[in-house]
Amino acid sequence: MKTILMSLAFGLMLTAQPYGRPGYVEPRGAYVNNGFAERISRGERMGLITPREASRLWKMERDLRFETERAYRSGPGITPRERDHLARMAARLDAAITHEMRDRERFRR
């Protein structure tokens, strides 16, 4: 019983460690790989997003990818200021996708 508890505690310690240490940098493409492209294409296929809305969302997604790559190319990781900027862009894109999928504008073929 003691070994089971010790191994469980050790396993929890290992899984929690990377996110708690100072200076942790997200893996490359952390803001890009949030499923935005999948959500946009699914909305297009289901007819929930019109072509005009989809083109605007694809532009926002492309800008987020470009800014993320630019931030990673600028040095060894991203600065807190760049991280905040990317997080705001990702939140704005997430809200826009959610809004467009729920605004009851349908694309009928």
pLDDT of residue 72: 87
**pLDDT (0 to 100) of residue 85:** 94
Q: How confident is the model at residue 5 (pLDDT cuts 50, 70, 90)?
A: low
Distance (Å, whole) CA 52 – CA 43: 12
CB contact at 8 A, 91 and 34: no
pLDDT digits (tens, 9 = 90+) for 11-45: 655 555 444 344 445 545 455 557 899 999 999 99
Question: Taking 80 as the threshold, does the pLDDT of residue 4 lie above it?
Answer: no
Rounded Cα–Cα distance for residues 27 and 1 (Å): 37
Q: Read off the pTM.
A: 0.66
